[in-house]
Amino acid sequence: MINKKSIWFLTLFSLILVLSVYYITMPSELLISTNGNYTKEEEPTTNVTESTVLVALRIEAEEELLKEMENLQLILNSGEATVEEKNEAFDKMKELNINKGEEEKLENKIKEVYQLESFVKIRNDQIEVVINKSENDTDLANKIMRTIQEQYEEQKYITVKFTS
Give the model confidence (pLDDT) of 30-41 as tens digits: 555 555 554 555
Residue 109: predicted pLDDT? 92
Residue type, 82: T
Residue whose C-alpha is closest to residue 114's, from 141, 135, 138: 141
**Tens digits of per-residue pLDDT, 47-75?**
545 578 888 888 898 899 889 988 988 88
Q: Is the pLDDT of residue 111 over 80?
A: yes
Alpha helices in the chain (DSSP H): 4-25, 28-34, 52-77, 83-114, 138-149
Question: Domains in the chain, please, with CATH?
Answer: 52-163 (1.10.287.4300)
154 band by pLDDT with thresholds 50, 70 and 90 = very high
Q: Put the strands of the sheet holding 126-132 in their side by side order.
A: 118-123, 126-132, 157-163
41-69 core/surface letters (b: 16 or more CB in 10 A; e: else): eeeeeeeeeebeebeebbeeeeeeeeeeb
- State how far the Cα of 144 lies from the Cα of 164, in Å rounded to an integer: 17
- State how far the Cα of 151 lies from the Cα of 158, in Å rounded to an integer: 12
Q: Which residues are CB-contacts of 158 (< 8 A; sequence separation ≥ 6)?
A: 126, 127, 128, 129, 145, 148, 149
CA distances to 45, 112, 140, 143 from 107, rounded to whole Å, are 23, 9, 15, 14
More confident residue, 47 or 137: 137
Element (H, E) at 49: none
Work out the widest C-alpha separation in the chain, in whole angstroms.
82
CA distances to 41, 66, 93 from 97, rounded to whole Å, are 46, 11, 6
